[in-house]
Structure 1
Amino acid sequence: MALPESNQMAPLLVVCLLFAGIAAAAAQNGGSVAGIVTQSFFDGIINQASSSCAGRGFYTRSAFLTAAGNYPQFGSTGSAADSRREIAAFFAHVTHETGHFCYIEEINGASQNYCDTSRTDWPCVSGRNYYGRGPLQLTWNYNYGPAGRAIGFDGLRAPETVANDAVISFRTALWFWMNNCHSPITSGQGFGATIRAINGDLECNGRNPTTVNARVGYYTDYCRQLGVDPGNNLTC
């Protein structure tokens, strides 16, 4: 028996509305992170590092996208402009911290003491050093410990994992970002608030305007590449 015409049209209408909703959502957040962080965009950063840099054989767009898949709110919160500004901000800091993906580990980091003994909740392990590693140069025992717990590796006993596994390396950067920088940049506080969250004690309030300006320069360049206005409050 043939269905009444109105009933035949109902499933088609539902499908059309579903696809319209998906399209509207994509327009709202500016598309996927993979669609914004193209291979060309990624290569435009890493290709500025010398071919002798350790990071050239370590950091990849594929590792970044795999890591980003664990943080669905990254680059997808708010408007299309918000998404692109967040991605531009993240890569601006990564560029500054790693020298265009040149460095995996902090220069002369092994000679530094990044053990905060007052943080008894994340006790340092003898023989381990918590110097900067990865895209945002994760530092200190009180960051390695909780990052490892959240991601699934022993950050206190095996901090070197961040320098040996590219996906985990990017995940630690995104873990730090989502806990400290995501809300400021997506809520309209501006790029300057992310500088303060990452290295404010050493750079903000006139302490090191040169490095602040370097970060801002990368950010505004990446905003230009991604076709978005950088917004206000760029410095700290």
Structure 2
Amino acid sequence: MEFKWSVPLIILVLVNCDLYSTIGGSTLKNCYLCNTYEPSEPESRSYSSESSELVGILVLKIVHLTLNPNQPSQATAAKIRSCCGGPVSDHFQSDQFEKMFSNRSSLEVEDHEIENKGFLDYQSFITASAFYQPYGFGTTYINQDFFGTKEVAAFLAHVATKISCGNKVVTREQLSRDLCYNKEMNSDLSYCDEHYKNTYPCAPGVAYYDRGALPIYWNYNYGEAGKDLKVDLLNHPEYIEQNATLAFQVAIWRWMTPIKEHQPSAHEVFIGTWTPTKSDNLAKRVSGFGATMNVLYGDLICGHGDNESMKNIISHYLYYLDLMGIDREEAGPHEVLSCAKQVAFNPSISSSP
């Protein structure tokens, strides 16, 4: 069955986006808008009930005006250190996405057992990113320096290396053979931590293995993500496997949300709004792409010199900068780009968060 979405109905959906203002508790803060992005007149479109484009293109056209209708005054804007621009689709187009992941649904991928190779697509990413636009994902200016394009490249570099087709990074062809998996393959573990049985009790017969574009696992992560996204992921983690937009939303949730209180998110360390403490300085933790690996993976990757896992992620990031027309020098020096000498934010963990 197909439904006709009229303009008033779409606006109602956008109002419901206010639910996302609680994502990450007090961690995420609304940005002021930096530009005067004017949406074109919305058109009525027909969508399948099974489509991941529930809010689709119209969300990208009017969401920022709905969530942030008022620009700051000129005097106020001059004092703002960080603010947000227009939607990610303004600076990241579908042809760039397809170049990054040109083989994601190709029969040339050797593993014939790979399912849903084309599951994660451009429109799903854009739709998911729209919900986080008011909080700066892919849209942040710092003192008029735009970080949005670099952040998209950084985020997708992590996504690609976490759910790749399993190739070692050697050539550009291999760098584009990614986005093959949307779940952990052949998992026999339920990943149920009984320590959280009161807050996030495991559902009977449910396994909380890796799922999503930037995979999460364990019941407490599904519980936290589901609470912030207003989706019952604790009882239905399989939703992430079935909806590409949700798979990207959960991934961006992980990127935007600190693992622990009083720690930064990957978003904050990347754009530089995080202020290192004396302990951070002693631990050689500095803002930049390297610190995103520290936040997301800790001592699984960081603090072990220039290991292959770290170089793999960096290679993807630099390659994506090339595709997006950004000079590699903007990635910063080696100590900013890598986490080879950084002490982990959460040392001695046995698995990624």
Does the alignment reach a TM-score above 0.5? yes
Counterpart check, 1:183 vs 2:268: yes
Report the alpha carbon displacement of residue 195 of structure 1 after superposing the two structures with TM: 0.6
Q: Which secondary structure does the structure 2 equivalent of 1:78 belong to?
A: strand
Question: What is the letter of the counterpart of residue 148 of structure 1?
Answer: G
Q: Which secondary structure does the structure 2 equivalent of 1:111 belong to?
A: coil
Match of 1:37 among 87, 92, 97: 92
Report the alpha carbon displacement of residue 57 of structure 1 after superposing the two structures with TM: 3.0
Counterpart for residue 234 of structure 1: 337
Report the alpha carbon displacement of residue 216 of structure 1 after superposing the two structures with TM: 0.5
User: TM-score, structure 2 length as denominator?
Assistant: 0.56
Q: Which secondary structure does the structure 1 equivalent of 2:140 belong to?
A: coil
Matches within 5 A, 1:122-137: 122-137=200-215
Whole-angstrom distance in 2 between the partners of 1:235 and 1:145: 31
**Measured at CA, do residues 149 and 30 of structure 1 come closer, stay the same or move farther in structure 2, by a change above 3 Å?**
closer
Aligned partners of 2:140 and 2:146 also within 8 Å = no
Aligned partners of 2:138 and 2:151 also within 8 Å = yes
Match of 2:137 among 67, 71, 74: 74
**What's the RMSD between the two structures over aligned residues?**
2.5
Matches within 5 A, 1:102-113: 102-108=180-186, 110-113=187-190
Counterpart for residue 210 of structure 1: 308
Whole-angstrom distance in 2 between the partners of 1:55 and 1:96: 17
Q: What is the percentage of aligned positions where both structures have the same residue?
A: 33
Whole-angstrom distance in 1 between the partners of 2:185 and 2:139: 33
Counterpart for residue 6 of structure 1: none
Whole-angstrom distance in 1 between the partners of 2:290 and 2:150: 12
User: TM-score, structure 1 length as denominator?
Assistant: 0.81
Whole-angstrom distance in 2 between the partners of 1:97 and 1:55: 16
Aligned partners of 1:46 and 1:56 also within 8 Å = no
Counterpart for residue 13 of structure 1: none
Aligned partners of 2:153 and 2:320 also within 8 Å = yes
Question: What is the letter of the counterpart of residue 296 of structure 2?
Answer: I
Report the alpha carbon displacement of residue 112 of structure 1 after superposing the two structures with TM: 3.0
Counterpart check, 1:22 vs 2:36: yes
Between structures 1 and 2, the one with greater helix share? 1
Whole-angstrom distance in 1 between the partners of 2:35 and 2:299: 44
Aligned partners of 1:76 and 1:83 also within 8 Å = yes
Q: Which secondary structure does the structure 1 equivalent of 2:141 belong to?
A: coil
Q: 1:110-161 CA distances to partner (integer Å, 9 max, x unpaired)?
A: 2234222223322222211111111101222111111112212211111111
**Measured at CA, do residues 193 and 162 of structure 1 come closer, stay the same or move farther in structure 2, by a change above 3 Å?**
same
Aligned partners of 2:212 and 2:247 also within 8 Å = yes
Q: Which secondary structure does the structure 2 equivalent of 1:57 belong to?
A: coil
Report the alpha carbon displacement of residue 31 of structure 1 after superposing the two structures with TM: 5.5
Aligned partners of 2:118 and 2:180 also within 8 Å = no
Task: Report the more deviating stretch, 35-44 or 127-136.
Answer: 35-44
Aligned length: 214
Aligned partners of 1:151 and 1:168 also within 8 Å = no
Report the alpha carbon displacement of residue 29 of structure 1 after superposing the two structures with TM: 5.9
Aligned partners of 1:122 and 1:156 also within 8 Å = yes
Report the alpha carbon displacement of residue 214 of structure 1 after superposing the two structures with TM: 0.3
Whole-angstrom distance in 2 between the partners of 1:88 and 1:207: 23
Whole-angstrom distance in 2 between the partners of 1:190 and 1:152: 31
**Measured at CA, do residues 21 and 172 of structure 1 come closer, stay the same or move farther in structure 2, by a change above 3 Å?**
closer
Counterpart for residue 83 of structure 1: 148
Report the alpha carbon displacement of residue 35 of structure 1 after superposing the two structures with TM: 2.5
Aligned partners of 1:45 and 1:95 also within 8 Å = no
Aligned partners of 1:119 and 1:142 also within 8 Å = yes
Aligned partners of 2:118 and 2:179 also within 8 Å = no
User: Which has the bigger relative contact order, CA under 8 A and spacing at least 6?
Assistant: 1
Counterpart for residue 104 of structure 2: 49
Aligned partners of 1:191 and 1:235 also within 8 Å = yes
**Measured at CA, do residues 39 and 117 of structure 1 come closer, stay the same or move farther in structure 2, by a change above 3 Å?**
same
Aligned partners of 1:56 and 1:101 also within 8 Å = yes
Structure 2: where are the runs of 5+ without partners?
1-33, 38-73, 78-82, 108-113, 165-177, 258-264, 274-286, 340-353
Whole-angstrom distance in 2 between the partners of 1:171 and 1:41: 20
Structure 1: where are the runs of 5+ without partners?
1-19
